[in-house]
Structure 1
């Protein structure tokens, strides 16, 4: 088995910023109401003339530049998204935009857990020797799937993209120490973008057509799910890697709600200063939230050589997953 190394990261967010004060002008809400319940102060929204592949390409190109690689060095592209530009997938379009002509590309749809699952998938290809350089991207533009008159959902979501390059470690040393992935489809109705059918007929031919509705969420149930299941997932992942909570340098959770981040840390006995959080600036960016926060932490120097980072995603499906990485610089 080969070792897997996270070479570099990159991220991108739209230029348009909408703060809580602006939302309060059209919704029955306020900056205090939103920030005290969620920790969110503003969110970024993609412009009308742009698509999700534009954001994903910007994040990918930054990761390539930071890793001193060319797009033609990439063997595989995995795009984690639930808001594709094309229902058949957007990874192939991303491959074309960045010029990664040697890469196979496919999408993973797992909402807010998407990046963790994509990272787990990439690691399997690396460790079996199938591919050497894998570009893993998490990108979502859920601002286009929320009802902007519904304060229960529209205040939460923003758009963004983050990317990481995973490659074979020549010393067979693994940066990615363990995974723990779970799904509970029986609770999928708590967070979804449902498809609504319309039935029609033309003569003797009966057919159905329809469209996707706005994003719907049972906030209380999602909160209970996150604060109960995520700590257990992290504990199992730590046990697999034979690591104690005191060895954790940083806790990076999907940026859904600041209260969730703090509650999970409290249940695990992890001090608040070890929580990586940027939710106040971007809101919930779904599959982009973890790689976006990871890239900012790397670029700011918060994450240092040898740091152990616990990463956990959770969301629609319901899906949740944890991975533990050890940040090793190239020697």
Structure 2
């Protein structure tokens, strides 16, 4: 059974926070941020604007693009590490606000790789239920888990959501999900973690929130593992299908850092003019990164019919993933 992406959509909050604005309360400069990350600005959710709320808007855009009414959706999968709550799954809130009838909804926790992990889950659902219409969303309000005094992390991230509609029946302009590969190494989990509030580091009533409640990252080590792992899994996917890097028309990588993206392209021997980059506008939006970029690439007519498109991501786990699409 083959899965197809028949619609894409994205949504970002209205509030734009530039690097210059960050200088007012973080020890940094616009030049420092741009030269090291490629980020010029990011979107930050308004108070009370949750992951489900962002996800609903992205999902509506994807459903409209697909020409599918919300009531026809059978399964909802949400990649996020910044859910509305631990219980219930944020996917159920998203489903409720969309007006989707009752049925399966599930959060997928794989940090920045969450969208691709959810996409592979959608393929599995369709293998068992070919009639299914699966809504796959990546939505993050990372600003809710950032220490705004830690310049090594707070300048990197932004909030946003992206979504796709996946079915077993192709439509005009749809993309075949040729294959998805997933991998990871739990022994490296401490390199990127949000531990505070979990069962291994519980919060206690009356005690102040500690640093471990927020994103903590060992940047240099993450850089090395991100480039190596995304390149390796991408090459593995190409080899599995008898393809070379030159057969790829567009790479849409996780938008974490421009230096990571450039190093990945170099290792794959793919020119940067075949790599989609929008990190300067949004920063790292984690699980929302790839579906936002995919929606933008389609909207900008950068993916003509017949294109081979490679998606690849890396996230806390540590985990990494790649997906091959054929339009």
TM-score bin, normalised by smaller chain: over 0.9
Instruction: Give 1:205's aligned residue.
Output: none
Provide the C-alpha distance between the structure 1 equivalents of 2:104 and 2:208, rounded to a whole number of angstroms.
Answer: 32
Match runs of 1:283-302 below 5 Å: 283-302=283-302
Q: Give the corresponding residue for 1:176.
A: 177
1:12 aligns with 2:41: no
- Offset at 1:132? 2.3
State the partner residue of 1:31: 30
Alignment of 1:1-331 (within 5 A): 2-88=1-87, 89-169=89-169, 175-195=176-196, 196-197=201-202, 213-327=213-327
How far did residue 181 of structure 1 move?
0.8
Tell me the alpha carbon deviations over residues 21-77 of structure 1, each in whole angstroms, 9 at most, x when there is no partner: 111122221110000000000000000032111100000001111111100111110
Shift of 1:179: 1.8
Aligned partners of 1:73, 1:126: CA distance in 2, in Å? 15
Shift of 1:5: 1.1
For 2:302 and 2:170, the matched residues in 1 are separated by 26
Deviates more, 1:110-119 or 1:161-170: 161-170
Paired with 2:175 and 2:282, the residues of 1 have a C-alpha distance of 31
CA RMSD across the alignment: 2.0
Alpha-carbon separation, structure 1, partners of 2:133 and 2:20: 44
SS in 2 for 1:194: coil
Offset of 1:102 from its aligned partner?
4.5
Residues 147-199 of structure 1, C-alpha deviation per residue, up to 9 Å, x if partnerless?
0011000000000000000111269x981112221111101001011123467
Rounded Cα–Cα distance in structure 2 between residues aligned with 1:198 and 1:309: 43
Number of aligned residues: 318
Distance in 2 separating the partners of 1:274 and 1:152: 29
Following the alignment from structure 2 to structure 1, what is the Cα–Cα distance between the partners of residues 175 and 140?
29
**Aligned mates of 1:111, 1:123 — CA distance in 2:** 19
Contact 1:38/1:259 (<8 A) preserved: yes
> Which runs of 5 or more structure 2 residues have no equivalent in the other structure?
none
Say if 1:74 and 1:103, in contact at 8 Å, map to a contact too. no
Does structure 1 conserve the Cα–Cα contact (< 8 Å) formed by 2:142 and 2:285?
Answer: yes
Q: Distance in 1 between matches of 2:175 and 2:203?
A: 51
> Which protein has the bigger strand share?
1
Q: Deviation of residue 129 (structure 1)?
A: 3.1
**Unpaired segments ≥5 residues, structure 1:** 201-207
* TM superposition outliers: structure 1 runs of 4+ over 2 Å: 127-132, 195-200, 208-212
**What is the TM-score of this pair, normalised by structure 1?**
0.92
The structural deviation recorded for 1:128 is 3.2
The structure number with the bigger radius of gyration is: 1
Matched position secondary structure for 2:165: strand
Q: Retained in 2: the 8 A contact 1:72–1:103?
A: no
